[in-house]
Amino acid sequence: MIKSNLDPAVKKYLPWILATAFFMQMLDSTVLNTALPAIALDFKESPLNMQNAIISYVLTLALFMPVSGFLADKFGTRKIFILSLILFSLGSLFCALSHNLDQMVVSRVIQGLGGALMTPVGKLALIKAFNKSELLKAMNFATIPALIGPVLGPLVGGYLVDYLSWHWIFIINLPIGLLGIILGIKFLPNYVSKITHFDFKGLLIFASAALLLSISLELMGKTKNLSFILLIFILGFLLLYYYYRYARKTKDVIFPLNLFLVRTFRVGILGNLACRLGISSIPLLIPFMIQIAYGQSAVVSGWIVAPMALTAMFGKSAVISILNYFGYRNTLMFNSFIIGFLILTMAIPGINTSIYWFLPSVAALGFFNSIHFTAMNTIAIADLRNDQTSSGNSLLSVNQQIAIGFGITIGLAILRFYQNIESIEIHEAFRNTFLTIGTLTVLSGFVFRRLHFRDGDNMKSQ
């Protein structure tokens, strides 16, 4: 092992390099929500048509994350990490220079390519550089910005939009990215591993299926040509079936089918998908409602959303105790019901109600979301064998990103459906959307009935 022979300066700055990547990615994933109405106004688009700016990034993350480890092993961690920072920074610059939604979507795809490589390769370098006794401390330090980013994101986005312009939410990535590149060139080790087989064909089939399914959902509410939507939807499912047939007869596929023979993994994946279909659109819908229905500024919407990320930190500190006491099955079932109920409460305020009425619900939602995501992610990998952990964790990450994309698409499609009803005002459309999404989230909790009371016991703290 060469870990002990590393230059002390490398160990000192390596967590900072990863922290730079985490901060950029987490800030970028939240800062855009409060800025989309302003961008839509500049592009002369309806704010409800702007979801492609988010979904294009999320889907690119999902589809290219599985390639990150292979590329790092083949070309080296330093080269791929620096490439990821260059792509992310270039994508940010192109976003700031965009003049219409199509240009923004292309720019976000470039950003997504960088993001898909950035954090996985940075984590890989950290794991290879530090001994196990040092790794937890280094990883905890590096991930602090991942907690701070979502808190600052809505506020930074709001202030930049109101006092400068929306372009600055992307420009601020450039000096951070440049700092990461300089530190990476100087201090990041270039670990290269023996190249193993990578299932590019399987990834292409799976990615094509996910893309077609996403496009079909995104077109819902945008076009009245239902036969075209249905055709794309069916093609997506046919590609999923093709992947199933391909995986049955192929060795070393990217996502082995035997993962789904593990019940806790199966329930964790399905639960992740079902819950996030409801939860994922909320951080976008709230700023939209505050700005569009209530006519408030981006700064105000940022202050309303920010507590969600702040209370998520408390959720992370409480989740172990809660899981130890209630178990995974009860926690996930009843937590889904609580989250669904909190979303339903957002439909209560009328147009003349103070917007600060939403703060308790938003703050509580952040706390319970944090518990939910941690519990879902850990139960999914609880019973995987060592040889399944890598592919299982990769599929879990891909599933999360796809579910977020689907959730945002479905949330805005529901809002668009209610908005198209002539007798309903925009505020009522938001209220009905929260009622629908809240109900779906409550129902998603029943997925976790398939867990046994003892499932996850091996993951509890002793």
Counting DSSP H helices and E strands in the chain, the numbers are 16, 0
Q: How far apart are CA 92 and CA 346, in angstroms?
A: 33
Q: How far apart are CA 266 and CA 245, in angstroms?
A: 19
pLDDT of residue 146: 64
Angle between helices 101-129 and 77-97 (to 10 degrees): 160
What is 310-347 written as a DSSP string?
A: HHHHHHHHHHHHHHHHHHHHHHHHHHHHHHHHHHHHTT
Collapsing DSSP states into helix, strand and coil, what is residue 220? strand
Between the alpha carbon of residue 341 and those of residues 309, 317, 338, the distances in Å are: 19, 23, 5
pLDDT of residue 342: 93
pLDDT of residue 335: 92
- CA triple 182-184-186, angle to 5 deg: 70
Upper half-sphere CA count for residue 263 (Cβ side, 13 Å): 10
Upper half-sphere CA count for residue 270 (Cβ side, 13 Å): 17
pLDDT of residue 125: 78
| Beta carbons of 177 and 88 less than 8 angstroms apart | yes
Please list the ranges in the chain whose pLDDT falls under 70: 1-7, 9, 131-147, 149-150, 195-196, 220-225, 386-388, 390, 455-462
pLDDT of residue 1: 43
Q: How far apart are CA 173 and CA 192, in angstroms?
A: 28
CB-based burial, 114-152: b 16+ in 10 Å, e otherwise: bbbbbbbbbbbbbebbbeeeeeeebeeebbebbbbbbbb
What are the structure tokens assigned to 381, written together?
A: 């990998």
What are the structure tokens assigned to 299, written together?
A: 């700064």
